[in-house]
Structure 1
Amino acid sequence: MKLSASIFALLAVATFSSVDAAPAVSTDPAVKTLTIPLTGNPSYQRNATSAVLKARGKYNRFINSASTFANTGTVPMIDYLYDVEYYGTVKVGTPAQSLKLDFDTGSADLWFASTLCTNCGSTQTKFDSTKSSTYVSSTKTWSISYGDGSSASGVVGFDTVNLGGLSITGQGIELAKKEATAFQTGPIDGLLGLAFDSIITATGVKTPVDNLISQGLITSPVFGVYLGKQTTDAVGEYVFGGYNSNHINGTLTTVPVDNSDGFWSITASAATAGTTTTTTSLGAIEGILDTGTTLMIFTNTIATKVAKAYGATDNYDGTYTIKCDTSSFAPLTFTINGAKFTIPPADLIYYRGSTCIASFAYANLPFAIFGDAFLKSHYVIFNQAVPNVQIALSK
């Protein structure tokens, strides 16, 4: 997507290390799961404004003017660009072609660059369907458009998709023939959506999670998400078919999900922000759990209240400048189905430098987005069948 020049460039080097996942010992061999660890990228460049624009683009149509690990596969995930954006290597076709895909609970399409593309980036890996013996073509097409003018489009095919050792047969894949400039730069070859199939742009195509379930590759219709922090191990993982209790700190709280718009939408009955001496009530907040959005994004009205509570200054591009010293800050706290979940004071800062940028923002949306600023402190189990989520503090 296009990047705004309305705010100075924010650059930071993250010091991450890659470590192997340590799944729990299996107690039920009948349970099939897939574990995908996430690792950090040391060359990542921060830009808060582009993170807001990405969220605006994704949701533009709403803008008003303890599991076990049998048959597990491990795929390292790296964050790059657009703040904490995780992607992993997914193998497609026979023989397998490796593609780097962004895993995103805020969208549902599985698409990537292809040799059919007339303008895909020179550094992108392009899937070549003619080299796959299991590829099946179709007459279906797909097209994704974003509010800032970014877009991608192409044709739909079907092929084997291998997620860390689990082979999905006949998976619908969307081959890009054209993509906007923003998708051409950086290391991302495409995207793997983890939202509901009602928002796939190619109608009638199942999501990878749909097929993992229907093909019996996982025996529980859930996936657990843990995102690492730069200040801790900077390593996370996706577990398909279960969850990793090693990353759960405390009790899981079950939260109903409204998927009527195709998203993992939840409601916080109350929220507070402020300092250790003065707090502000924010009221109820409806929002989407979205691993593909960097910041905690509020409606404009609530964002104004949060900014005032922390003495932050509006940059008029969706972002806020905030004090670098958070010692007097109270956590940003959400009450969700009777339990309290927080964004710790230190995590209220997205970028630290001579000035600091807040990890909360606004994007002219009528709902909130619980992005990575919230998710990186919590473990979330997404249950597609109910649907609901279970949330706990992470460790």
Structure 2
Amino acid sequence: MRLTATITAFLAIATFATAAPVKGKQQHHVPLVPNPHFKRNATASVLRAQAKYGPYVTHAFSGGVVPMTDYQNDIMYYGEVEIGTPPQKFYLDFDTGSSDLWVASTLCQNCGSGQTLFDPSSSSSFQESSQTWQISYGDGSTANGVLGTDTVVLGGLAIQGQTIDVAEQESSQFQSGPISGLLGLAFDTITSVQGIKTPVDNLISQGLISEPIFGVFLGKDSEGGGGEYVFGGYDSNHIGGQLTTVPVDNSQGWYSINIDGTSASGQQVTGSFSGILDTGTSLLLLENSLAEQVASAYGATDNGDGTYTISCDTSQFPPLVFDIAGAQFEVSSDSLVYSGSGSSCIAGFGYGGLPFSILGDTFLKNNYVIFNQGVPEVQIAPARY
């Protein structure tokens, strides 16, 4: 959850269980491909998170594949979305920690010259609304504009009348980035304007998917990068073990689950806590006390800004392990490093000063997750590359 709308609670920088597979009848893949550009900024990732949360499929369907980018070797995963008639193509950050679809536009007074901008006047299906929207972020970045509706094509699925946040202004933090906005995949209770149907809502209500689920595989750069979203199902090729079903608490609009315990470097370090599954946050952001214990176990030092410095050579480190619903899910030793080179690196875990943890990409690129808005619940299994 890299971005979020202005709501009661912010997040910026995304129990009991049984093993039971989910079968999707209509399933569409959104593959991801790696891109080695952009500088990593762990501190900015922490700041954004602090503000933000204050059948089986074995191949891609023809026409259902949307190339996506593994940004800066696992830092962010974004994909191509088409908006309008005729379709205009944009790269958006896919985010299970927020619910708005917003895009930079030709109405924007200060959007970046390198950004791809949505032109409402060039779309015969665009309908403008009189309502406005605004988004704020913990690092001081902002965006705002007007609402509208248009056709949105996601992985070959054409959503009719999808509400879009059309940006008229954005702060400098967005002007040089590769994305034109964000695609929110969380629950509709945290949209910037109440009453809006999210893309997932419309995929379900318009009968574009036969099951209210989507499977997420985030690849590792060390394993070839890539990844995919499967709307209406999941890809068994990327599931490396038994699926464990975990109830979701969506009372705050997020995919919040209970973690029963954690072990770091082979040591049990904490009791139970709640965590939000968030594809839009790069780091694994832990509650402060838990982060301190994990850092101590791996010999990491606190940088005072929500990040830790850790040895770049983590090959001898045991994995970080989370106990969830009677099963264990790992963050591999190589994922304990977020960025850097030489002897000192920035850790893939940090803290956000929040009363819960955020299971961001550090966790999610190690584990396959099926998100189910109908129950609600998630199913988790070790990822297969």
TM-score where L is the length of structure 1: 0.88
- Within the alignment, does 1:216 sit opposite 2:207 as a pair? yes
CA drift of 1:119 comes to: 0.9
Q: Residues 188 and 82 (structure 1 numbering): CA distance in 2 closer, same or farther, change over 3 Å? A: farther
User: Is residue 385 of structure 1 aligned with residue 374 of structure 2?
Assistant: yes
Match of 1:331 among 299, 319, 330: 319
- CA displacement at 1:272 relative to structure 2: 1.1
1:20 corresponds to: none
1:90 counterpart SS class: strand
Give the aligned residue type for 1:121: G
Does 1:319 find its partner at 2:310?
no
Task: Indicate the larger mover: 81-90 or 235-244.
Answer: 81-90
**How far apart are residue 298 of structure 1 and its match?**
0.6
| 8 Å contact from structure 1 (residues 258, 264) kept in 2 | yes
String of CA shifts for 1:47-95, please: whole Å, max 9, x gaps: 2222212212322xx2xxx524667611111133696211111111101
Corresponding residue for residue 39 of structure 2: 45
1:178-189 matches, cutoff 5 A: 178-189=169-180
Task: Count matched residues.
Answer: 360
Equivalent in 166, 172, 197 of residue 188 of structure 2: 197
Say whether the 8 Å CA contact 2:219–2:225 is kept in structure 1.
Answer: yes
Match of 1:126 in 2: 117
Match of 2:87 among 93, 96, 102: 96
Query: Is 2:259 the counterpart of 1:271?
Result: no
Aligned with 2:217 (options 202, 207, 226): 226
Give structure 2 stretches of 5+ with no counterpart: 3-22
Q: Name the counterpart of 1:244.
A: 235
**Aligned equivalent of 1:298, options 286, 308, 319:** 286
| Structure 1 residues 258 and 335: CA distance shift in structure 2, 3 A | same
- Which whole-Å CA distance do the structure 2 matches of 1:271 and 1:325 have between them? 22
Single out whichever of 354-363 and 107-116 deviates more from structure 2. 354-363
Per-residue deviation at 1:273?
A: 1.0
**Which residue, out of 351, 359, 372, partners 1:370?**
359
> Which structure 1 residue ranges, 5 or more long, are not aligned?
2-27
Cα distance in 2, alignment partners of residues 237 and 339 from structure 1: 24
Q: Deviations over 1:308-337 (max 9, x none)?
A: 111111111111111233244221111100
Residue 29 of structure 2 is matched in structure 1 by 35
| Alignment partners' CA distance in 2, 1:83 and 1:366 | 26
How far apart, CA to CA, are the structure 1 residues paired with 2:373 and 2:221? 29
**Alpha-carbon distance in structure 2 between the residues aligned to 1:83 and 1:318:** 19
TM-score, with normalisation over the residues of structure 2? 0.90
Counterpart CA distance in 2 for 1:325 and 1:190 is 35
- Per-residue CA deviation, residues 324-372 of structure 1 (Å, 9 max, x unaligned), is 3324422111110000001112211112412122111011111100001
Q: Which amino acid aligns with 2:31?
A: P
- Give the structure 2 partner of residue 17 of structure 1: none
Q: Which string of whole-angstrom CA distances, capped at 9 and with x for unpartnered residues, describes residues 250-294 of structure 1?
A: 10000000000000001111111125xxx1421112110000111
Higher-RCO chain (CA-CA 8 Å, sequence separation at least 6): 2
Aligned match of 2:270 in 282, 300, 303? 282
- 1:209: Cα distance to partner? 0.7
Q: Conserved in 2, the CA contact under 8 Å of 1:101 and 1:191?
A: yes
Aligned partner of 1:56: which letter?
Q
State the match for 2:64 in structure 1: 73
Distance 1:303 1:269 in 2: 16
* Partners of 1:82 and 1:138 in 2: CA distance: 39
Shift of 1:138: 1.2
Go from structure 1 to structure 2 and tell me whether the alpha carbon gap of 1:42 and 1:70 turns closer, same or farther (over 3 Å shift).
closer
Distance (Å, rounded) in 1 between the aligned partners of 2:332 and 2:155: 33
- Aligned-partner Cα distance in 2 for 1:80–1:296: 17
Query: In the alignment, does 2:171 pair up with 1:177?
Result: no
| Greater Cα shift, 327-336 or 370-379 | 327-336
1:137 Cα deviation after fit = 1.4
**SS at 2:173's partner residue?**
helix
Could you report, residue by residue, the CA deviation over 1:147-192 in whole angstroms, capped at 9, with x for unpaired residues?
Answer: 3322111111011001122111111011001111111111110100
Q: CA–CA distance in 2 between the matches of 1:57 and 1:218?
A: 33
Give the fraction of aligned pairs with identical amino acids, expressed as a percent. 57
Tell me the SS of whatever aligns to 1:301: helix
1:235/1:82 CA distance change after superposition, 3 Å: closer
Aligned to 1:168: 159
Distance in 1 (CA, whole Å) between partners of 2:73 and 2:328 is 28
CA distance in 1, matches of 2:89, 2:61: 23
Give 1:87's aligned residue. Answer: 78
Code of the aligned partner of 1:48:
A
